[in-house]
Structure 1
Amino acid sequence: MSTRRNPGTDIALVAAFAALIAACALLPAIKVAGPVPVTLQTFAVLLSGAVLGSRRGFLAVLLYVAGGAAGLPIFSGGAAGLAVLAGPTAGYIVGFLLAAALCGAIVERLPRRSLVSPIAIFLAGLISSAVFIHTLGMAGLVLRAHLTWAQAWDVDKIFWIGDVLKNVAMALVATAVHRAFPDLLGRPVAARTEAQREGTPAA
Protein backbone atom coordinates (compact mmCIF):
# COMPACT_ATOMS: atom_id res chain seq x y z
CA MET A 1 0.00 0.00 0.00
CA SER A 2 1.39 3.41 -0.91
CA THR A 3 1.40 6.33 1.46
CA ARG A 4 -0.16 9.70 0.92
CA ARG A 5 1.96 12.00 -1.18
CA ASN A 6 3.70 14.93 0.45
CA PRO A 7 2.51 18.26 -1.05
CA GLY A 8 6.05 19.60 -0.82
CA THR A 9 7.33 16.65 -2.82
CA ASP A 10 4.58 17.19 -5.40
CA ILE A 11 5.55 20.85 -5.80
CA ALA A 12 9.21 19.94 -6.18
CA LEU A 13 8.43 17.29 -8.81
CA VAL A 14 6.18 19.65 -10.77
CA ALA A 15 8.87 22.33 -10.73
CA ALA A 16 11.59 19.84 -11.72
CA PHE A 17 9.65 18.54 -14.69
CA ALA A 18 8.72 22.07 -15.78
CA ALA A 19 12.45 22.81 -15.78
CA LEU A 20 13.08 19.64 -17.79
CA ILE A 21 10.55 20.73 -20.41
CA ALA A 22 12.23 24.15 -20.59
CA ALA A 23 15.66 22.55 -20.97
CA CYS A 24 14.45 20.32 -23.80
CA ALA A 25 12.84 23.33 -25.51
CA LEU A 26 16.12 25.25 -25.36
CA LEU A 27 18.25 22.49 -26.85
CA PRO A 28 19.13 23.21 -30.49
CA ALA A 29 16.06 22.66 -32.66
CA ILE A 30 16.01 21.04 -36.07
CA LYS A 31 14.49 23.31 -38.68
CA VAL A 32 12.21 21.57 -41.16
CA ALA A 33 9.59 22.80 -43.58
CA GLY A 34 7.04 25.13 -42.02
CA PRO A 35 7.07 27.35 -38.93
CA VAL A 36 7.32 24.59 -36.31
CA PRO A 37 10.82 23.37 -35.31
CA VAL A 38 11.61 19.83 -34.14
CA THR A 39 12.60 19.83 -30.45
CA LEU A 40 12.69 17.40 -27.53
CA GLN A 41 9.73 19.10 -25.86
CA THR A 42 7.34 16.28 -26.75
CA PHE A 43 9.63 13.81 -24.97
CA ALA A 44 9.66 15.90 -21.79
CA VAL A 45 5.95 16.74 -21.89
CA LEU A 46 4.83 13.12 -22.20
CA LEU A 47 7.45 11.96 -19.70
CA SER A 48 5.90 14.40 -17.21
CA GLY A 49 2.52 12.73 -17.60
CA ALA A 50 3.89 9.18 -17.64
CA VAL A 51 6.00 9.68 -14.50
CA LEU A 52 3.94 12.12 -12.45
CA GLY A 53 0.42 11.15 -13.46
CA SER A 54 -2.37 13.20 -14.98
CA ARG A 55 -2.72 16.05 -12.47
CA ARG A 56 0.92 16.69 -11.68
CA GLY A 57 1.97 16.15 -15.29
CA PHE A 58 -0.57 18.75 -16.41
CA LEU A 59 0.63 21.16 -13.72
CA ALA A 60 4.27 20.72 -14.77
CA VAL A 61 3.43 21.68 -18.35
CA LEU A 62 1.18 24.51 -17.13
CA LEU A 63 4.03 25.90 -15.01
CA TYR A 64 6.34 25.77 -18.02
CA VAL A 65 3.80 27.55 -20.24
CA ALA A 66 3.06 30.15 -17.56
CA GLY A 67 6.78 30.86 -17.14
CA GLY A 68 7.24 31.35 -20.87
CA ALA A 69 4.13 33.52 -21.14
CA ALA A 70 5.39 35.64 -18.24
CA GLY A 71 8.56 36.46 -20.13
CA LEU A 72 11.08 33.75 -19.30
CA PRO A 73 12.92 32.78 -22.53
CA ILE A 74 12.05 29.10 -22.26
CA PHE A 75 9.93 28.48 -25.33
CA SER A 76 11.60 26.87 -28.34
CA GLY A 77 14.52 28.91 -29.59
CA GLY A 78 14.54 31.06 -26.45
CA ALA A 79 11.28 32.78 -27.34
CA ALA A 80 9.10 34.25 -24.61
CA GLY A 81 5.93 36.22 -23.99
CA LEU A 82 2.25 36.03 -24.80
CA ALA A 83 2.96 36.56 -28.50
CA VAL A 84 4.17 32.96 -28.72
CA LEU A 85 0.76 31.79 -27.52
CA ALA A 86 -0.84 33.75 -30.35
CA GLY A 87 1.55 32.44 -33.00
CA PRO A 88 1.45 29.44 -35.33
CA THR A 89 2.83 27.06 -32.69
CA ALA A 90 0.11 27.90 -30.14
CA GLY A 91 -1.89 24.78 -30.95
CA TYR A 92 1.07 22.57 -30.17
CA ILE A 93 1.58 24.30 -26.82
CA VAL A 94 -2.07 23.81 -25.85
CA GLY A 95 -1.74 20.22 -27.05
CA PHE A 96 1.20 19.72 -24.68
CA LEU A 97 -1.01 20.46 -21.68
CA LEU A 98 -3.76 18.05 -22.65
CA ALA A 99 -1.38 15.34 -23.89
CA ALA A 100 0.48 15.27 -20.58
CA ALA A 101 -2.84 14.95 -18.76
CA LEU A 102 -4.10 12.17 -21.04
CA CYS A 103 -0.82 10.24 -20.96
CA GLY A 104 -0.82 10.47 -17.18
CA ALA A 105 -4.45 9.36 -16.96
CA ILE A 106 -3.74 6.30 -19.11
CA VAL A 107 -0.60 5.34 -17.18
CA GLU A 108 -2.40 5.76 -13.84
CA ARG A 109 -4.94 3.18 -14.99
CA LEU A 110 -2.40 0.62 -16.13
CA PRO A 111 -1.91 -2.47 -13.96
CA ARG A 112 1.20 -1.95 -11.86
CA ARG A 113 3.00 -4.78 -13.69
CA SER A 114 2.54 -2.82 -16.94
CA LEU A 115 4.54 0.08 -15.53
CA VAL A 116 7.70 -2.00 -15.91
CA SER A 117 6.85 -2.72 -19.55
CA PRO A 118 7.77 0.15 -21.87
CA ILE A 119 5.28 -0.98 -24.54
CA ALA A 120 2.19 0.12 -22.59
CA ILE A 121 3.74 3.48 -21.70
CA PHE A 122 4.91 3.97 -25.30
CA LEU A 123 1.35 3.45 -26.55
CA ALA A 124 0.00 5.85 -23.91
CA GLY A 125 2.41 8.52 -25.12
CA LEU A 126 1.77 7.92 -28.81
CA ILE A 127 -2.01 8.03 -28.38
CA SER A 128 -1.80 11.22 -26.33
CA SER A 129 0.49 12.86 -28.86
CA ALA A 130 -1.75 11.91 -31.77
CA VAL A 131 -5.00 12.95 -30.10
CA PHE A 132 -3.90 16.32 -28.78
CA ILE A 133 -0.46 17.53 -29.90
CA HIS A 134 -0.80 16.78 -33.59
CA THR A 135 -4.51 17.56 -33.86
CA LEU A 136 -4.37 20.87 -32.00
CA GLY A 137 -1.04 21.69 -33.60
CA MET A 138 -2.57 21.46 -37.06
CA ALA A 139 -5.57 23.49 -35.89
CA GLY A 140 -3.18 26.20 -34.73
CA LEU A 141 -1.46 26.24 -38.12
CA VAL A 142 -4.82 26.60 -39.84
CA LEU A 143 -5.94 29.42 -37.56
CA ARG A 144 -2.65 31.28 -37.03
CA ALA A 145 -0.56 30.51 -40.11
CA HIS A 146 -3.57 30.62 -42.45
CA LEU A 147 -2.81 27.22 -43.91
CA THR A 148 -5.39 24.82 -45.25
CA TRP A 149 -5.84 21.56 -43.38
CA ALA A 150 -4.02 19.77 -46.20
CA GLN A 151 -1.09 22.17 -45.91
CA ALA A 152 -1.09 21.84 -42.11
CA TRP A 153 -0.95 18.06 -42.48
CA ASP A 154 2.01 18.40 -44.86
CA VAL A 155 3.83 20.34 -42.12
CA ASP A 156 2.75 18.11 -39.25
CA LYS A 157 3.44 14.72 -40.85
CA ILE A 158 7.16 15.48 -40.80
CA PHE A 159 7.09 15.19 -36.99
CA TRP A 160 5.58 11.71 -36.79
CA ILE A 161 8.75 9.66 -37.20
CA GLY A 162 10.52 11.82 -34.64
CA ASP A 163 7.59 11.53 -32.25
CA VAL A 164 7.66 7.74 -32.47
CA LEU A 165 11.37 7.77 -31.58
CA LYS A 166 10.82 10.28 -28.77
CA ASN A 167 8.00 8.17 -27.36
CA VAL A 168 10.25 5.11 -27.39
CA ALA A 169 12.84 7.06 -25.37
CA MET A 170 10.13 8.44 -23.08
CA ALA A 171 8.75 4.97 -22.38
CA LEU A 172 12.19 3.57 -21.57
CA VAL A 173 12.96 6.42 -19.17
CA ALA A 174 9.51 6.29 -17.54
CA THR A 175 9.81 2.53 -17.09
CA ALA A 176 13.18 2.93 -15.39
CA VAL A 177 11.75 5.60 -13.08
CA HIS A 178 8.75 3.45 -12.11
CA ARG A 179 11.02 0.49 -11.42
CA ALA A 180 13.15 2.65 -9.14
CA PHE A 181 10.19 4.44 -7.50
CA PRO A 182 7.18 2.10 -7.70
CA ASP A 183 5.01 4.30 -5.44
CA LEU A 184 5.57 7.52 -7.38
CA LEU A 185 2.06 7.48 -8.88
CA GLY A 186 0.37 6.52 -5.61
CA ARG A 187 -2.36 3.92 -5.65
CA PRO A 188 -3.78 2.74 -8.97
CA VAL A 189 -7.13 4.32 -9.82
CA ALA A 190 -8.87 0.95 -9.52
CA ALA A 191 -7.44 0.45 -6.03
CA ARG A 192 -8.55 3.92 -4.93
CA THR A 193 -12.07 3.26 -6.23
CA GLU A 194 -12.26 -0.06 -4.38
CA ALA A 195 -10.97 1.53 -1.19
CA GLN A 196 -13.61 4.25 -1.41
CA ARG A 197 -16.34 1.63 -1.84
CA GLU A 198 -15.10 -0.16 1.27
CA GLY A 199 -14.88 3.11 3.21
CA THR A 200 -11.12 2.91 3.75
CA PRO A 201 -8.85 5.92 3.25
CA ALA A 202 -7.39 6.27 -0.27
CA ALA A 203 -3.87 7.49 -0.81
Structure 2
Amino acid sequence: MKKKLSTLDLTLASMFVALMAIGANITSWVPFMTIGTVPITLQTFFALLAGMILGSRLGAISMTVYALVGLAGVPVFAKAGGGVATIFSSTFGFIISFIFTAYVVGKIAEKSKSLPVLIAASLAGLVVNYVFGTNWMYFALKFWAAAPPEFSYKIAWLWMVLPAIKDTILAVLAAFMGYRLQRTVSSRSQVNNLKRAI
Protein backbone atom coordinates (compact mmCIF):
# COMPACT_ATOMS: atom_id res chain seq x y z
CA MET A 1 0.00 0.00 0.00
CA LYS A 2 1.43 3.36 -1.05
CA LYS A 3 1.68 6.03 1.60
CA LYS A 4 -0.36 9.20 1.26
CA LEU A 5 1.36 12.36 0.11
CA SER A 6 2.26 14.66 2.98
CA THR A 7 2.00 18.45 2.98
CA LEU A 8 5.77 18.59 2.51
CA ASP A 9 5.52 16.24 -0.49
CA LEU A 10 2.89 18.44 -2.12
CA THR A 11 4.93 21.55 -1.41
CA LEU A 12 8.07 20.08 -2.97
CA ALA A 13 6.15 18.81 -5.99
CA SER A 14 4.61 22.27 -6.46
CA MET A 15 8.05 23.83 -6.19
CA PHE A 16 9.34 21.68 -9.05
CA VAL A 17 6.30 22.56 -11.17
CA ALA A 18 7.26 26.23 -10.68
CA LEU A 19 10.93 25.52 -11.42
CA MET A 20 9.96 23.74 -14.65
CA ALA A 21 7.95 26.80 -15.73
CA ILE A 22 10.91 29.07 -14.97
CA GLY A 23 13.34 26.70 -16.67
CA ALA A 24 11.19 26.57 -19.80
CA ASN A 25 11.27 30.35 -20.18
CA ILE A 26 14.68 31.22 -18.76
CA THR A 27 15.69 32.96 -22.01
CA SER A 28 12.81 35.41 -21.55
CA TRP A 29 14.67 36.84 -18.54
CA VAL A 30 18.22 35.94 -19.61
CA PRO A 31 18.32 36.47 -23.41
CA PHE A 32 22.05 35.69 -23.70
CA MET A 33 21.34 32.04 -22.76
CA THR A 34 20.94 31.14 -26.43
CA ILE A 35 23.46 29.35 -28.66
CA GLY A 36 22.70 30.38 -32.22
CA THR A 37 18.97 29.75 -32.42
CA VAL A 38 18.93 27.09 -29.68
CA PRO A 39 17.66 28.39 -26.32
CA ILE A 40 19.31 26.93 -23.23
CA THR A 41 16.19 25.89 -21.36
CA LEU A 42 16.52 24.24 -17.97
CA GLN A 43 13.49 21.92 -18.14
CA THR A 44 15.55 18.75 -18.50
CA PHE A 45 17.83 19.88 -15.66
CA PHE A 46 14.89 20.32 -13.26
CA ALA A 47 13.18 17.10 -14.41
CA LEU A 48 16.36 15.17 -13.59
CA LEU A 49 16.69 16.96 -10.25
CA ALA A 50 13.05 16.22 -9.44
CA GLY A 51 13.72 12.49 -9.78
CA MET A 52 16.77 12.68 -7.53
CA ILE A 53 15.21 14.82 -4.81
CA LEU A 54 11.58 13.67 -4.86
CA GLY A 55 12.05 10.03 -5.86
CA SER A 56 10.40 8.10 -8.67
CA ARG A 57 6.77 8.41 -7.57
CA LEU A 58 6.64 12.04 -6.45
CA GLY A 59 9.03 13.15 -9.18
CA ALA A 60 6.76 11.65 -11.84
CA ILE A 61 3.71 13.19 -10.17
CA SER A 62 5.28 16.66 -10.19
CA MET A 63 6.10 16.37 -13.91
CA THR A 64 2.58 15.12 -14.63
CA VAL A 65 1.12 18.14 -12.82
CA TYR A 66 3.44 20.41 -14.82
CA ALA A 67 2.17 18.90 -18.10
CA LEU A 68 -1.48 19.16 -17.01
CA VAL A 69 -1.09 22.76 -15.86
CA GLY A 70 0.32 23.66 -19.27
CA LEU A 71 -2.40 21.77 -21.13
CA ALA A 72 -4.99 23.62 -19.05
CA GLY A 73 -3.78 26.82 -20.69
CA VAL A 74 -1.32 28.22 -18.16
CA PRO A 75 1.75 29.51 -20.11
CA VAL A 76 4.33 27.28 -18.42
CA PHE A 77 5.80 25.64 -21.52
CA ALA A 78 8.70 27.05 -23.57
CA LYS A 79 8.06 30.46 -25.16
CA ALA A 80 5.19 30.95 -22.68
CA GLY A 81 3.20 28.26 -24.43
CA GLY A 82 0.22 26.37 -23.11
CA GLY A 83 -3.13 24.89 -24.06
CA VAL A 84 -4.43 21.63 -25.50
CA ALA A 85 -3.16 22.57 -28.97
CA THR A 86 0.36 22.04 -27.63
CA ILE A 87 -0.22 18.30 -27.99
CA PHE A 88 0.24 18.74 -31.74
CA SER A 89 3.52 20.56 -31.28
CA SER A 90 6.64 18.75 -32.48
CA THR A 91 8.25 19.30 -29.07
CA PHE A 92 5.37 18.04 -26.92
CA GLY A 93 7.06 14.64 -26.71
CA PHE A 94 9.77 16.20 -24.56
CA ILE A 95 7.13 17.51 -22.13
CA ILE A 96 5.66 14.00 -21.78
CA SER A 97 9.15 12.53 -21.52
CA PHE A 98 9.85 14.56 -18.37
CA ILE A 99 7.40 12.29 -16.50
CA PHE A 100 9.32 9.14 -17.47
CA THR A 101 12.66 10.91 -17.03
CA ALA A 102 11.92 11.83 -13.41
CA TYR A 103 10.59 8.33 -12.72
CA VAL A 104 13.66 6.54 -14.12
CA VAL A 105 16.09 8.88 -12.36
CA GLY A 106 14.19 8.47 -9.11
CA LYS A 107 14.15 4.67 -9.35
CA ILE A 108 17.92 4.54 -9.80
CA ALA A 109 18.60 7.20 -7.15
CA GLU A 110 16.46 5.31 -4.63
CA LYS A 111 18.98 2.46 -4.73
CA SER A 112 21.95 4.64 -3.80
CA LYS A 113 22.69 8.30 -3.13
CA SER A 114 26.36 8.07 -4.10
CA LEU A 115 27.63 10.58 -6.66
CA PRO A 116 28.53 7.95 -9.34
CA VAL A 117 25.03 6.45 -9.10
CA LEU A 118 23.40 9.88 -9.32
CA ILE A 119 25.48 10.72 -12.40
CA ALA A 120 24.47 7.40 -13.98
CA ALA A 121 20.83 8.04 -13.05
CA SER A 122 20.97 11.53 -14.53
CA LEU A 123 22.47 10.31 -17.82
CA ALA A 124 19.95 7.45 -18.01
CA GLY A 125 17.15 9.96 -17.54
CA LEU A 126 18.62 12.11 -20.29
CA VAL A 127 18.56 9.15 -22.68
CA VAL A 128 14.86 8.58 -21.88
CA ASN A 129 14.20 12.28 -22.44
CA TYR A 130 15.88 12.35 -25.86
CA VAL A 131 14.66 9.00 -27.17
CA PHE A 132 11.02 9.79 -26.38
CA GLY A 133 11.18 13.47 -27.33
CA THR A 134 13.13 13.08 -30.56
CA ASN A 135 10.97 10.23 -31.82
CA TRP A 136 7.83 12.27 -31.10
CA MET A 137 9.38 15.23 -32.94
CA TYR A 138 10.21 13.07 -35.97
CA PHE A 139 6.73 11.57 -36.28
CA ALA A 140 5.05 14.93 -35.62
CA LEU A 141 7.05 16.69 -38.32
CA LYS A 142 6.74 13.79 -40.73
CA PHE A 143 3.03 13.04 -40.42
CA TRP A 144 1.13 16.15 -39.34
CA ALA A 145 3.48 19.14 -39.43
CA ALA A 146 4.26 18.95 -43.16
CA ALA A 147 8.04 18.56 -42.97
CA PRO A 148 9.91 18.97 -46.30
CA PRO A 149 10.40 15.73 -48.32
CA GLU A 150 14.13 15.60 -47.55
CA PHE A 151 13.48 15.50 -43.79
CA SER A 152 14.56 12.14 -42.36
CA TYR A 153 15.00 10.31 -39.07
CA LYS A 154 18.75 10.94 -39.29
CA ILE A 155 18.20 14.67 -39.73
CA ALA A 156 15.89 14.73 -36.70
CA TRP A 157 18.70 13.33 -34.55
CA LEU A 158 21.31 15.63 -36.11
CA TRP A 159 19.17 18.58 -35.03
CA MET A 160 19.47 17.35 -31.44
CA VAL A 161 23.28 17.18 -31.29
CA LEU A 162 23.83 20.72 -29.98
CA PRO A 163 21.02 20.60 -27.38
CA ALA A 164 22.28 17.13 -26.33
CA ILE A 165 25.75 18.51 -25.58
CA LYS A 166 24.20 21.25 -23.46
CA ASP A 167 21.88 18.84 -21.65
CA THR A 168 24.67 16.31 -20.99
CA ILE A 169 26.64 19.01 -19.18
CA LEU A 170 23.52 20.06 -17.27
CA ALA A 171 22.76 16.42 -16.43
CA VAL A 172 26.14 16.03 -14.73
CA LEU A 173 25.63 19.34 -12.92
CA ALA A 174 22.20 18.13 -11.79
CA ALA A 175 23.81 15.01 -10.33
CA PHE A 176 26.33 17.11 -8.38
CA MET A 177 23.59 19.42 -7.13
CA GLY A 178 21.36 16.48 -6.20
CA TYR A 179 24.25 14.90 -4.31
CA ARG A 180 24.95 18.09 -2.36
CA LEU A 181 21.26 18.64 -1.57
CA GLN A 182 20.85 15.05 -0.38
CA ARG A 183 23.86 15.39 1.92
CA THR A 184 22.55 18.68 3.32
CA VAL A 185 19.11 17.21 4.01
CA SER A 186 20.69 14.12 5.56
CA SER A 187 22.96 16.20 7.82
CA ARG A 188 20.08 18.33 9.04
CA SER A 189 17.99 15.24 9.73
CA GLN A 190 20.80 13.76 11.83
CA VAL A 191 21.15 16.99 13.80
CA ASN A 192 17.38 17.12 14.44
CA ASN A 193 17.37 13.47 15.57
CA LEU A 194 20.27 14.20 17.94
CA LYS A 195 18.41 17.19 19.42
CA ARG A 196 15.33 15.07 20.00
CA ALA A 197 17.46 12.41 21.72
CA ILE A 198 18.96 15.04 24.05
> What TM-score do you get using the length of structure 2 for normalisation?
0.80
Q: Distance in 1 between matches of 2:13 and 2:119?
A: 21
- For the structure 1 residues 104 and 172, does the alpha-carbon distance in structure 2 shift closer, same or farther, using more than 3 Å as the test? same
1:71 Cα deviation from its structure 2 partner: 0.7
Q: Partner amino acid for 2:124?
A: I
Q: Is the 8 A contact 1:32 1:38 kept in 2?
A: no
Partner residue in 2 for 1:13: 12
Q: Does 1:53 align with 2:55?
A: yes
The equivalent residue for 1:125 is: 122
Contact 1:50 1:174 survives alignment (8 Å): yes
Question: What corresponds to 2:176 in structure 1?
Answer: 172
Which fold has the larger relative contact order, with Cα–Cα distance below 8 Å and residues 6 or more apart in sequence? 1
State the secondary structure of the residue aligned to 1:181. helix
Q: How much does 1:151 deviate?
A: 1.2
For residues 117-138 of structure 1, the C-alpha deviation after alignment (integer angstroms, 9 at most, x for no partner) is: 43321110111111x2111111
Residue 143 of structure 1 corresponds to 139
Contact 1:43 1:167 in 2 (8 A): yes
Distance in 2 (CA, whole Å) between partners of 1:72 and 1:141 is 22
Q: By how many angstroms is 1:59 displaced? A: 0.8
Determine if the alignment matches structure 1 residue 160 to structure 2 residue 161.
no
CA drift at 1:182: 2.5
Give the Å deviation of 1:78: 0.6
> Which residue does the alignment assign to 2:98?
96
Output the CA distance in 2 between the equivalents of 1:102 and 1:64.
17
5+ residue gaps, structure 1? 185-203
Flag the 1:71–1:106 CA change in 2: closer, same or farther, 3 A: same
Could you state the TM-score of these two structures normalised by the residue count of structure 1? 0.78
Task: Give the Cα–Cα distance (whole angstroms) in 1 for the partners of residues 47 and 7 of structure 2.
Answer: 21
Indicate conservation of the 8 Å contact 2:93/2:134, yes or no: yes
Q: Secondary structure at the match of 1:154?
A: helix
